[in-house]
Structure formats: C-alpha cells, structure tokens
C-alpha cells in the first residue's frame, strides 16, 4: 500500500499555484467550488489508491490553522 506524501514533492510550485489562481479567475464562489470538486475527483482518480485518498482527506480535514496539520 502506498502512503500519502506530505513532504514537498512538486516541481514548479509557483507555476502550479498560478494555474490554480488563473483557473478561478472570473468565477463566482459556486463555480470555484465546483471547479475544486472536479479537480479533487480528477486527482483522486489519478492517485487510484482509495487508502491514500482517504489519508489525504483526513489530513486536509485536520488542518485548523495555516501551517498546522496532523498529517505526519
């Protein structure tokens, strides 16, 4: 079984962030939420391992403040 990678593991972080910002530009809150939901489902499908997806959900849900998480 794979484990959720929580250490930095993404190249071009600034570009990826800008792509996300650009994708949301001009959208209202509802459309942005729908975009996020579609993106999450596409990425979950790409991961393909339900346990890793569950670990990511639990980790994301445990974040209370910026920079604090129970993901480790």
- Residue 62 has a pLDDT of 94
- Residue 71 has a pLDDT of 53
Range of the domain at 36: 13-62
- Residue 63 has a pLDDT of 86
d(CA 5, CA 47) in angstroms, rounded, equals 11
Cβ atoms < 10 Å from Cβ of 56: 18
- Residue 58 has a pLDDT of 96
Indicate whether 57 belongs to any domain. Answer: yes
Indicate whether 3 belongs to any domain. Answer: no
Q: How many distinct structural domains can be found in the chain?
A: 1
Residues of the chain with pLDDT under 70: 65-72
């Amino acid at each position: 079984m794979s484990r959720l990678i929580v250490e930095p593991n993404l190249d071009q972080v600034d570009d990826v962030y800008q792509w996300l910002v650009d994708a949301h530009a001009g959208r209202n809150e509802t459309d942005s939420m729908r975009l996020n939901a579609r993106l999450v489902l596409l990425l979950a499908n790409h991961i393909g391992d339900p346990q890793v997806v569950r670990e990511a959900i639990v980790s994301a849900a445990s974040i209370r403040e910026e920079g604090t998480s129970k993901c480790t």
